[in-house]
A = this chain, B = another copy of it.
Amino acid sequence: MMSEEVLSYIQQNREDLLERLNDFLTIPSVSTDSSYKIDVQKAAQFVQNYLEEIGFDTIEEIPTSNHPIVYAAYNKAGVNAPTVLFYGHYDVQPVDPIEEWDSDPFTPEIRDGRIYARGASDDKGQVFMHLAVFEAFMKTTGALPVNIKVCIEGEEEIGSENLYDTLKEKREKFAADFVIISDSGMVAKNQPTILYGLKGFTGIEITVDGPDQDLHSGLYGGAVRNPIMALSHILSTMKNIDEEITVEGFYDDVEPMTAEERALIAKVEGEDYKQTTGIEETISEKGYDAKEHTMGRPTFEINGIYGGYQGEGTKTIIPAAATAKITCRLVPGQNPETIQQLLVEHIERVAPAGVQVTVKKEKLSSKAYMVEPNHPLIKKAAICYERAFEKETIFVRMGGSIPVVEWLDEMYNIPVILLGFGTPEDRLHSPNESFPLDSFDKGLETLVYYYNEVSK
C-alpha cells in the first residue's frame, strides 16, 4: 500500500528530517523586530529551497511591504485530483524574557521527548511536517497524491498584515478546493483533536479624559469627575459577575449551541485549570460550563487598563485620563463590525457626565469560522488521526481566532481543515516553547494518511 512505503521512508530518514527541522528552527525569524529582518528572509529562503528540492513546479517569493509570502504549486496530480491549499507561517514570536529559557531559543535541544526551540510548535515545526510528508511522497512514489498550493507567510505573529491584500489581489493563484492548516493543537498529548470551529475577534479601546492634567485630590475632589472611577462604572456595565455580557444586543445574532454540540463538548476531557493557571475555581457564563463557554460562547475581556499613578506608595491625584483595552471573541452569527458598533453605542449610553469618553475601534476584526463536524473532509481527518494515534478523535471548537481562516472562508467559501498537532504543554509565545516528538511522529503518519485519503 502506498502509505506504507511513504511511512517507511519517513522512519528510515527520521534523523535526517529532525536534522533539517533543526536547521529551520535555528533561524531567528522574529517578525515583529526589524533587527531580525534578514533572518526572517533566511527562513523564507529555507522554505523555498526545501520546496525546490521536493520538486514543486512553481516556487515564488511574493514580496510585501514587510516580510515575503512563499508561494509554490504542484499540479501533476491531474485534473481529477483535488487542489489543496496548504497554509502556514515561518515567522515566530519574540523570545523575551530570554532569561527564563532553559536552553537557547534558537539552538534546538531535545529533552524528555520534546524539541525545545522558539517556533518548535508555532508554527515552524508543524509547517515542516507537511514539507517532510511531501518529500516522502516524492521520494517514494515520485508524485504527490493531490495538487498542492503552498502559502507560507512571514507575518502571522504580527497580524498577517499583508496576507489579506495579497490573497485578494492574487485570488486565482491561491484558489483551491479546500485548505489544510496545522497551526493549532490537540486538547491533550496523543489525543486526536478535530478543531471544527474558531472564534471571531474584535476589539475596542476606551479612553476617558477628565481634567487637562492630574489634579490635587484635596483641592479638586468633589468638583471633578474622576476618569478612573468613570471608566470603572462604564466597564462594570458591560459584563456582570455571572459572566453575562450586558451590552444591549450583544447576543442577538449568536447561533445557539445545539444539544448535539453540547454532547460533543461533554466528551472532551476538560483542561485542569487549577493546575495550568493556578486559579481556585473556574468562572463561566451562567448556564454554561467552562468548556462550553471557552469553545462555543462569545467572550468579553479587558486586556489592559491604566490611568493615574502606578508607582510605589501614594500620589493623591485625580488623574487626567484612564484607558482600557478590550477584545471580544465572537461565535458564528456575530458580525464583528456590528459588535463594535454595539459596544460603542453602549458606552455612549452609559458614559457619565463631566468626562470625555472616546472609543477607538480595533482594525483587525474577523468573523468566527465553523465547518460542520460531519463534513466528509472532517470525517476523513478523524479516521486518519485515529489510525495514527490509535485513539478516538474528539471534536472541539476553540476560543482562539486565526484571521486567515476567516479570510479564506470569506474569499473562497471552501472548507478549512485544521489539523493541529500541538499540545497544551507547548508554551506557545512563552519561554521554553517545545513540541513533543510523539506529535512529530504520529502527526507525520496522520498527514501521510490524510493526503492519500483526500486524493480519492
Contact = CB atoms under 8 A, between A and B. Distances in A.
A112 interface: no
Nearest to A227: B302
A129 to B, nearest CB: 22
A455 interface: no
Contacts of A300: 221
A262 to B, nearest CB: 14
Contacts of A131: none
A318 B301 contact: yes
Contacts of A352: 241, 283
Contacts of A290: 222-223
A292 B223 CA distance: 9
B316 A218 contact: no
A305 B356 CA distance: 18
Given A215-B277, A236-B236, A283 B315 contact: no
A299 B229 contact: no
B279 A211 contact: yes
Interface stretch (A2-10, A370-378, A396-404): A396-404
Nearest to A322: B305
Interface string A49-71: 00000000000000000000000
Contacts of A314: 203, 303, 325, 327, 362, 364
Contacts of A222: 243, 284-285, 288, 290, 292-295, 297, 299, 399
A287 interface: no
A225 B317 CA distance: 29
User: Chain B CB within 10 Å — which of A201, A220, A288, A429 has the most?
Assistant: A220
A164 interface: no
A89 interface: no
Contacts of A280: 354, 356
User: Chain B CB within 10 Å — which of A216, A354, A364 has the most?
Assistant: A354
B305 A305 contact: yes
Number of copies of this protein chain within its complex: 2
Interface residues of A, number: 86
A225 B212 CA distance: 34
Interface in A312-330: 314-319, 322, 324-325, 327, 329
Contact of A279 (B217, B284, B293, B354): B354
A219 interface: yes
B281 A309 contact: no
A152 to B, nearest CB: 22
A14 to B, nearest CB: 31
A232 B278 contact: no
Nearest to A428: B216
Contact of A223 (B219, B241, B284, B327): B284
A187 B317 CA distance: 19
A184 to B, nearest CB: 10
A82 interface: no
Contacts of A264: none
Nearest to A301: B217
Given A203-B314, A299-B221, A329-B217, A241 B236 contact: no
A428 B309 CA distance: 17
A350 to B, nearest CB: 9
Nearest to A318: B301
A108 B308 CA distance: 30
Contacts of A356: 280
6 smallest beta-carbon distances between A and B, as pairs = A222-B293, A218-B400, A212-B278, A221-B299, A304-B308, A304-B309
8 contacts: A217-B399, A218-B401, A222-B290, A223-B294, A224-B277, A303-B318, A304-B315, A304-B317
Given A211-B278, A233-B236, A303-B317, 7 more contacts: A223-B294, A224-B282, A283-B353, A303-B316, A304-B317, A305-B307, A314-B325
